[in-house]
A = this chain, B = another copy of it.
Amino acid sequence: MSASPHSLPLELGAVGAASARVADYLREAILGGEIGPGDRIRQEDIAERFGTSRLPVREALRILEAEGLTEHEPNKGARVPKLTMHEVDVIYQMRERLEPLALTESLAHLSEQDLRRLDQVQSRIEANTDVNSFLALDREFHLLTYSGCHIDPLTSMVRRLWNSTQHYRRAFVSLGGPGRMWVINAEHRLVLDAIERLDPVDAERYLSGHIRRTRIELDRHPEVFEGRQR
């Protein structure tokens, strides 16, 4: 059930030794869709499955809470938060405003190798036909463009916004596909071109437009937020 290659570069949350492994496992399980919004997470279940005590699990849940992947109620345990359409809309507006800043901060620090990698990922997106792998590729593309940003609060917040909406992105993509792929590819290519020209103004312009268009398209599909999972 694990073994899903959601592993991305830039593992920033370098925390304790084994509690980080539990956090990694749970993170993959949530981002991979095995644990959905509303699902409860019992400490002892995870501890037993992992062969550890409940203590690392508790720490891991705190870490995930900081990343926006779980929510915590005293004496009630942890569960994956369920978001309304309006909440997801506002989160996309936050992305619209924050990610262009992260991109500008990242621009000057991107290496030649990063640019080549970005081009490869975008080419794979264009050649791709599977909706599920589009999810991972798109995520990799965007987070890679921010990998040159070394301002910790900014990168961690961007990551958190992606994490919080991952489930609804998958639901959206599964229900009719991500939309017209040529639009997405054109937007990505324009962002890439601006990055290569080291032009922060154009980079921010095309990136915010890309996110905004996605948000508006998402707003037209309320069924994404009513789907019963599991």
A87, B66: Cα distance in complex, Å: 20
Does A176 lie at the interface of the complex (its beta carbon under 8 Å from any beta carbon of B)? Answer: no
Q: From DSSP, what is the main secondary structure of chain A's interface residues?
A: helix
Residues of chain A from 130 to 162 with CB closer than 8 A to chain B in the complex? 151-154, 157, 160-161
Which of A43-51, A55-63, A113-121, A180-188 is found at the contact surface with chain B? A55-63
By the criterion CB–CB under 8 Å, are B63 and A151 in contact? no
A74 neighbours in B (Cβ, 8 Å): 14-17, 20
- In this assembly, does A85 line the interface, its C-beta being within 8 Å of a C-beta of chain B? no
Interface locus among A3-11, A88-96, A195-203, A219-227:
A88-96
- By beta carbon, the residue of chain B nearest A87 is B151
Q: Are B101 and A94 in contact (CB under 8 A)?
A: yes
A68: interface (CB < 8 Å): yes
Q: Are A65 and B68 in contact (CB under 8 A)?
A: no
Q: Does A164 sit at the interface, judged by CB under 8 A?
A: yes
**Pairwise interchain contact B153-A91, C-beta atoms closer than 8 A:** yes
